[in-house]
């Protein structure tokens, strides 16, 4: 049986959270000054709100009944400042594929589903944030033709 991409259900929270945790564990290793180890990374209340709100969704990739990938996507608006062009765009808040299922094209299928969902919401751009230490994700998003448009920087004050 093939991979099916669909909107998540309330009953899939635990499976989605398992995948969120995999990515979060990598983030803890990548930058322990920002991310810390916790039991449940995505609060259940937040997950349910994503499913209920019209401007957001959780997409999943599944093989038979096993969830093997997920994406959290919402529609956002730029601030209404006179100095900015008003923009409405899709924002991918979180995205991941089960570590045991990577490099099988699942991420590309899921990313394409994000774009399809965004088009259905009548937007023509998608944005996301990716941490510099996450070289695997950066390479994946570049392969999807995403471009870096800004850079967030920080320094510790001694």
What confidence score (pLDDT) does residue 17 get? 96
What confidence score (pLDDT) does residue 39 get? 85
Task: Tell me the CATH number of domain 3-143, given options 3.30.9.10, 3.30.1480.10, 3.90.226.10, 3.40.630.30.
Answer: 3.40.630.30
Closest CA to 69 of 78, 84, 58: 58
Domain ranges of the chain: 3-143
What confidence score (pLDDT) does residue 48 get? 97
Mean per-residue pLDDT, 9-28: 95
pLDDT for 22-64, tens place per residue? 999 999 999 999 999 998 899 999 999 999 999 999 999 999 9
What confidence score (pLDDT) does residue 1 get? 59
Indicate whether 69 pLDDT > 70: yes
Indicate whether 81 pLDDT > 80: yes
Indicate whether 149 pLDDT > 90: yes
In the chain, % of residues over pLDDT 90: 96
pLDDT for 97-140, tens place per residue? 999 999 999 999 999 999 999 999 999 999 999 999 999 999 99
Q: Is the pTM of the predicted complex or chain greater than 0.85?
A: yes
Q: Long-range CB contacts (< 8 A, 24+ apart) of 116-125?
A: 117/57, 117/59, 117/73, 117/90, 118/73, 118/75, 118/89, 118/90, 121/55, 121/75, 121/90, 122/88, 123/75, 123/88, 123/89, 123/90, 124/89, 125/87, 125/89, 125/90
Average confidence score pLDDT of the chain: 96
């Amino acid at each position: 049986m093939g991979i099916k991409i669909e909107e998540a259900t309330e009953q899939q929270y635990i499976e989605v959270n398992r995948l969120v945790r995999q990515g979060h564990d990598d983030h803890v290793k990548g930058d322990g000054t920002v991310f810390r180890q916790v039991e449940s990374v995505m609060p259940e209340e937040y997950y349910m709100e994503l499913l209920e709100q019209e401007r957001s969704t959780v997409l999943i990739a599944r093989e038979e009944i096993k969830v093997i990938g997920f994406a959290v996507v919402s529609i956002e608006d730029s601030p209404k400042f006179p100095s900015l062009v008003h923009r409405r765009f899709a924002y991918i808040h979180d995205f991941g594929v089960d570590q045991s299922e990577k490099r099988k094209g699942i991420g590309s299928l899921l990313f394409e589903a994000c774009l399809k969902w965004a088009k259905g919401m009548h937007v023509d751009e998608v944005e996301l944030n990716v941490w510099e230490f996450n070289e695997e994700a950066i390479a994946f998003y570049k392969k999807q033709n995403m471009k870096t448009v800004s850079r967030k920087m920080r320094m510790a004050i001694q």
